[in-house]
């Protein structure tokens, strides 16, 4: 974004455009922190209901029963809601989601591409993730993962 044309590979650049466009990721993982902290004051963080499964069983998926933010607010709209975490350094922090159900970014992408819990037919009443099948091709999924891998720090303050 600062103009260094070599900072991202061509694949990661395509991935960024998908992330911010067709795949709708940036509607929750806000640029530039890629979490749910709301600009411009950065004082609140958004929670979302995705319909995360309890296990990796694709044949008989069940909804993870952790009530999430509901435990704090006692509001039905927050049942199964979790904060949107940052994707910075996400390539280093498997497993994924609040319960660690997905081992790889490929598995995370498969979940999103189907429309989250809705696509697995386990969606809670108030799923806030758009229900639509994203219709991402294999190449597009690879590009989005290349972009997420590009969010890995390459220098550290010692």
Nearest approach in angstroms of CB 155 to ligand HEC is 21
Among 9, 17, 20, 24, binds ligand HEC (CB under 6 A): 24
141 touches ligand HEC by CB under 6 A: no
Contact 158, 94 (CB under 8 A): no
87 touches ligand HEC by CB under 6 A: yes
Q: In angstroms, rounded to a whole number, what is the distance separating the alpha carbons of residues 1 and 86?
A: 18
Q: In residues, how long is the chain?
A: 158
One character per residue 90-119, x = contact with ligand HEC (rule: CB under 6 A): x--x--xxx------x--x---x-------
Count the site residues for ligand HEC by CB under 6 A.
24
Characterise 2 by phi-psi region: left (phi > 0), alpha (psi -120 to 50), beta (else): alpha
13 touches ligand HEC by CB under 6 A: no
Which residues have C-beta within 8 Å of that of residue 72, sequence separation ≥ 6?
Answer: 78
Contact 151, 87 (CB under 8 A): yes
Nearest approach in angstroms of CB 7 to ligand HEC is 19
Contact 147, 23 (CB under 8 A): no
Sign of CA dihedral 93, 50, 98, 39: positive
Nearer to ligand HEC, 24 or 142 (CB): 24
Nearer to ligand HEC, 130 or 158 (CB): 130
**Site residues (vs ligand HEC, CB under 6 A):** 23-25, 27-29, 48, 50, 52, 82, 84-85, 87, 90, 93, 96-98, 105, 108, 112, 128-129, 144
């Amino acid at each position: 974004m600062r103009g260094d044309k070599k900072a991202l590979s061509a694949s990661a650049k395509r991935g960024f455009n998908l992330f911010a466009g067709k795949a709708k990721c940036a509607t929750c993982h806000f640029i530039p922190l890629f979490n749910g902290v709301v600009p411009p004051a950065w004082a609140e963080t958004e929670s979302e209901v995705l319909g995360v499964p309890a296990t990796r069983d694709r044949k008989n998926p069940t909804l993870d029963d952790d009530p999430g933010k509901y435990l704090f607010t006692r509001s039905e709209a927050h049942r199964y809601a979790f904060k949107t975490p940052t994707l910075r350094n996400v390539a280093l922090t498997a497993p994924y989601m609040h319960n660690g159900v997905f081992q790889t970014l490929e598995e995370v992408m498969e979940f999103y591409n189907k429309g989250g819990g809705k696509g697995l037919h386990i969606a809670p009443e108030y799923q806030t993730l758009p229900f639509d099948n994203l219709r991402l091709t294999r190449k597009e999924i690879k590009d989005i993962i290349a972009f997420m891998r590009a969010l890995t720090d390459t220098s550290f303050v010692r």
